Amino acid sequence: MTAKPPPIRIDLEPEQLSAGLAQVIVAVLRLLHELLERQAIRRFEEGNLSAEQVERLGTTLQAARTQLDTLTETLLETTRTAGQPTVRSPVQGYQPLTGRKSA
């Protein structure tokens, strides 16, 4: 009978885990925001929005973008303060859909 190999154990530091999880959450929120921007543009181009809805949607998306930027900066500052390396991720490289050229 062969001896069973020891179980694999992963040594996780709580600070690294929380910083990584926070970055994933922000990245998912940014992707969701981009999806909402794309849907708003599609609806605008199809003519499915009134002038009031366009204004309200634009204001809401701008406010959401500002909050996401603030959250990202807070996350990055917390990561730097905790001595964690800054990860180059979609969080930092995010560009809003507005102003992008279509590929």
The pLDDT assigned to 55 comes to 94
Q: Which domain holds residue 37?
A: 16-82
Q: Residue 66: inside a domain, yes or no?
A: yes
> How far does Cα 42 stand from its chain's mean position?
21
Over residues 10-19, mean pLDDT? 64
Q: Is residue 52 part of a domain?
A: yes
pTM value is 0.60
Query: What pLDDT is stored for residue 102 in this prediction?
Result: 42
Tokens 């990561």 belong to residue: 79
Q: What's the number of domains the chain is made of?
A: 1
Q: What are the tens digits of pLDDT across the range 43-78?
A: 999 998 899 999 999 999 999 999 988 988 887 777
Q: Is residue 56 part of a domain?
A: yes
| 3 in any annotated domain | no
Q: Is the pLDDT of residue 37 over 50?
A: yes
pLDDT tens digit sequence for 26-36 = 888 889 999 99
